[in-house]
Amino acid sequence: MVIFKKISDLQDYLLKLRATDSRRVGFVPTMGALHAGHISLIGRSKANNDIAVASIFVNPTQFNDRSDFDKYPSSVDMDITMLVEAGCDVLLLPSEQEVYPEGDQKMQSYGFGYLDNILEGAQRPGHFKGVGQVVARLLDIVNPDFVYVGQKDYQQCIVIKNLIGLLRKENEITLMVCPTVREADGLAMSSRNRRLTEPQRAIAGLLYQCLVSIQAKQIDSSFKIVQKECLDLLAEKGFTPEYVSLADAGDLSLLEEYDKSKKMVALVAAKLGDVRLIDNLVIN
């Protein structure tokens, strides 16, 4: 694996590779603290492209809480070992100065309509502005054919899909949303899981159990009843629930009740102590 810290060096390298023949580039953007979910994305990229590129960059502009940014786990040496073992070809490991040479305030920002104001957008004001800035920048740097992201960040997946449209790159870049990789108890793999204490980790799988309950009860129950059951259960077990919601899986428009004429997605967010966890499940 070749590691680049300078964006210009990476671009020169990829340009030379592509100049020899028509090589397809797959890209996995990450913020590091890698786990099996990230590695599954590398595997898919590796299987379907000639060059598998990953990036590790903890983007400060998508953290509305500075303390959350400061606490974000870092394990670069371990990450590099995992990427090498997964067969990743290229890693971009840039500094903030490299990504935002003139500062992030001068970067173009993108609006995502109602997505900026619901669910993650409501809980983390400005988050998707930061996501849009960094993803647009990374896509411009790497110029990939395919981008691989995990379904765990469902709303972010839709934001990135919309961003590709805003950049008018729908015919150049294909977004591949890949299944969430889970622990044995159903907990979605996440870099933030490392911050859970042992007692917190023991109950964290309850988030997934709530999603499974929403799926199972769609036949003979009201979503509002199941929603209240989940919120009450999470609070009882020591979580601070933020939302338990149901939405159209296509555009994430929120639903008050089950609508079997639509493909739906259930979404949940809650805190355990100061660790914020999110998950989702497509339910039909």
Q: How far apart are the first and last CA of the chain?
A: 40
Of 33, 35, 38, 180, catalytic:
38
Q: Which three-class secondary structure string do you get for 77-126?
A: HHHHHHHHHHCCCEEECCCHHHHCCCCHHHCCCCCCHHHHCCCHHHHCCC
> Under a CB-based contact definition with an 8 Å cutoff, are residues 230 and 243 in contact?
no
> Under a CB-based contact definition with an 8 Å cutoff, are residues 187 and 204 in contact?
yes
Backbone phi, then psi, for 36, in 5-degree steps?
-60, -25
Give SS3 for 6: coil
Backbone phi, then psi, for 280, in 5-degree steps?
-160, 165
Beta-bridge partner residues of 92: 4, 55
Q: Is 35 a catalytic residue?
A: no
Q: Give the whole-angstrom CA distance, residue 23 versus residue 201.
A: 43
Residues marked active site are found at 38
